[in-house]
A and B are shown apart, each in its own frame.
Chain A
Amino acid sequence: MAIALALGVQLVQLTLVLVLAPLLTGLVRKLKAHLVGRQGPPLLQPYRELARLLRKDVVLAESASWLFRAAPYLIFATTWVAAALVPTFAAGLVFGYAADVIAIVALLGAARFVLALAGLDVGTSFGGIGSSREMMIASLAEPAMLMVVFTVALLAGSTQLSSIAAFMQGAGVGLRVSLAMALVALVMVALAENARIPVDNPATHLELTMVHEAMILEYSGRHLAMIELASFVKLLLYVSIIACVFAPWGIAVSGQGLAAYLAGLAAYAGKLALCGFLLAVFETAIAKMRVFRVSDFLGAALMLGVLATLLLFVSRVA
């Protein structure tokens, strides 16, 4: 019975992340447009874009290999599995016992590796630039992410996201400077990983500044739809990790009734809306930085992560 319940929660979660991810992106776009005094596209525009792309034919470059065609599905699959591992509205997911937060980082790293290869595959110079910049960003963002994971895992005594969420809800956490640093570092990493504004501009096709868009320039049709959906899911995934680790209130634990699950869903929707709003405000308020400044930005994130881990050893023993 318990396994059936956990399986059910897992299935709901799998569909939920897929359904909500375009909505979150649509919300951020809408809010950003409103903040600069525009009308903005409707909230459901990302769904329409995906539907349109799925209907269209694929145009393949002559030099494209099998890797180019397989990459969108691999990227989407790994990102989706990673998103299914984060407790969003309920803890106790079936997959959650098989994979911890380090596995999530590894899955995202695999997706990025495949994407960079696909960017190089066709042999255009933009794809190459995009891939090399993506790798430069990743080489700093991934260690920073792992340091944040270590900080939280050392505190909670576990790398399972469900246990971390349970620990964070308990009274033993207190006020910790390490957690504040880890939160700032995680937000910086999330901004870089999702190609948001200080690092990359998600709305532009201006060649000299783009990173993510440069890699997927050659994609079209259903391939592009898969990659776009994967990037929507990735944004949702990072928001969910931040919400799950630093604001785990309202997450239903297995064994509670239907009402708890519904409350968890409502709390999750509220957290998503709040994070989307904050992201839109932040992106409107700040300017994009030069590509060569990105290493400073992410170096600061890495430094915060290392500092957070180091300061843990001085703090009181929980």
Chain B
Amino acid sequence: MIAPLALDIAHLFAGGLVLVSFMLLYQDRMTGLINTFALHALVVSLSVAWQAYIQHAPHLYITAAIALGIKAMVIPIALHRIIVRLGIHRTIEPVVGIGLTMLAGIGLIALSIMVMLPITAQAGTLAREDLSFALSVILLGLLMMISRRNAVSQVIGFLSIENGLILAATGAKGMPLVVEISVAFSILVALIVIGIFLFRIRERFETVDIHRLHEHRGEQP
């Protein structure tokens, strides 16, 4: 049985992750958005490290270290460079209907809690709250991907979904190390591919605003 205080701290980190997901929705400046994403990855690595400690699962420390190294340092630095080279590091992205997005986010959290708590009734407390928080983070990442127009913001939404998946896997008694490492590298490869794509989009259409692409597909904006 896990001590209540240890559980409370795990709850604190997981709840903090949901909060940082909300901050991602709220940010409208590019640099602020990337820094918030670095914070997101930092919180997820803290959360995983704490759960490694209370679950006595040493291999989870490696997961935490990968999250800290790749997602809290390498990817944010790379993204900072990309936005400087794209020349969009000073732009303020018009977030459409911030109040509505927030309300939708609250609704998604309520939904994920209502879905997850009944179906995990037999699981341990830690797994239950990890799964419901992870589902919230994933849904908030999806919301971010559909509510933003800028391709870089959508990339960040995609990466925050991956953080949610790590949290879910941690709650389920950890995932095999091979899987974790391959996921981490595939995320890196995805970043490189996305980076190349961003430059190609910019070269082709002179913007990374996704809505401009609809015109080229023949849709009405």
Contacts and interface: CB of A to CB of B under 8 A. Distances in A.
B97 to A, nearest CB: 11
Nearest to B132: A314
B193 to A, nearest CB: 34
B19 A313 contact: no
Interface string B6-23: 011101100110110010
Interface stretch (A11-19, A56-64, A304-312): A304-312
B8 A175 contact: yes
A316 B19 contact: no
B109 A300 contact: no
Contacts of A176: 8, 11-12
Nearest to A180: B12
A307 B18 contact: yes
Contacts of B11: 176-177, 311, 314-316
Given A174-B8, A316-B125, A303 B106 contact: yes
Contacts of B16: 177
B99 A314 contact: no
B153 to A, nearest CB: 18
Given A176-B11, A177-B15, A307-B106, A314 B128 contact: yes
Interface residues of B, number: 27
Contacts of A296: 98
A86 to B, nearest CB: 28
Instruction: Determine chain B's interface SS by DSSP, over half rule.
Output: helix
A314 B129 contact: yes
B133 A310 contact: no
A313 B114 CA distance: 9
Nearest to B26: A300
Interface in A176-197: 176-178, 180-181
Contacts of B88: none
A159 interface: no
B117 interface: yes
The range of chain A's interface size is 20 to 34
Contact of A303 (B22, B128, B133): B22
Contacts of A315: 8, 11, 129
Nearest to A140: B99
Interface string A238-254: 00000000000000000
A315 B125 CA distance: 8
Contacts of A158: none
B151 interface: no
Contact of B15 (A299, A303, A311): A311
A295 interface: yes
A30 B19 CA distance: 36
Across the A-B interface, give the 4 residue pairs with the lowest CB-CB distance, nearest first. Answer: A177-B15, A175-B8, A174-B8, A314-B129
Interface of A: 174-178, 180-181, 295-296, 299-300, 303-304, 306-307, 310-311, 313-316
Given A178-B15, A296-B98, A303-B105, 17 more contacts: A174-B4, A174-B5, A181-B15, A299-B99, A299-B102, A303-B22, A303-B102, A307-B22, A307-B106, A307-B109, A310-B110, A311-B11, A313-B117, A314-B11, A314-B113, A314-B117, A315-B8
13 contacts: A174-B5, A175-B9, A176-B11, A176-B12, A296-B98, A303-B106, A307-B19, A307-B109, A310-B106, A310-B113, A311-B11, A315-B129, A316-B11
